[in-house]
Amino acid sequence: MMHPSISKYKLYLYLFFFIFLSSIFNFKFVESLKDKFSLKEITISGISQYEKKMIESELNNFRNTNIFKLNKNKILETINKFNFLENIYINKIIPSTINIDLSKTSILGKTLIDGEIFFIGKNGKLINSNQIFENNKIPMVFGKFKMQEFLKIYNILNSHHLEVAQIEKYYYFKNRRWDLLFSNGIKLKLPSKKIEDSVKIYKQLLDNDNLINIKTIDLRVIDQIILTNKNE
């Protein structure tokens, strides 16, 4: 009469061990999947080795995150702290890698804000000096200007094929006009309005070789050209 109960006991015991062993297997399987699809490698291209290390240190918090749950917008938000970047492309590579392709903006000038040097990017951003590692000759920009005002004058000059690389200093005034100092020593004084027309006049003077021994070209008054000789 005892055999049925013993058999029932053994059945429960076998069932318990089966569930226990299955749970261990399933747990290990799930853990292995989590590990397989967690972010382990971040590859960055398009910038210098030093810049890569600087950005990688900010992205380390994303390591070991499930790659399917990895939020690209969060990564972009982190990378966008580096204002010297122009374009950012992020590509997930299953199972555990992200590729990040970056390109840097052109540096158009530098300016002083509260005693600290900032670089002006073509992307319209001010770049902290600790993010720039180039020693190229960069013009100084003086005055309290808005970024769009500087980009406007730069784009006008560039569109008329003036040698912006020859500009050593930009001076911005409260009445929203610019003076430009070129490497040949000539200072160009532009008006606050019809800037493009004045740039065309300056270009014509350059093309006609009429700037010998000239120190200042004053185009502040519309339809008037005032030339100052170096000896004056």
Which pTM does this prediction carry?
Answer: 0.80
What integer is the mean pLDDT of 114-128?
A: 94
**Which CATH number fits the domain 41-104, given the four candidates 3.40.640.10, 3.40.50.80, 3.10.20.310, 3.30.70.20?**
3.10.20.310
Closest CA to 56 of 36, 37, 69, 39: 39
Q: Is the peptide bond before 95 cis (omega within 30 degrees of 0)?
A: yes
User: What are the boundaries of each domain within the chain?
Assistant: 1-36, 41-104, 107-229
pLDDT tens-digit profile of 35-82? Answer: 677 889 999 999 999 899 999 999 999 988 888 888 889 999 999 999
Domain 107-229 sits in CATH at: 3.40.50.11690
Give the model's pLDDT for residue 231.
72
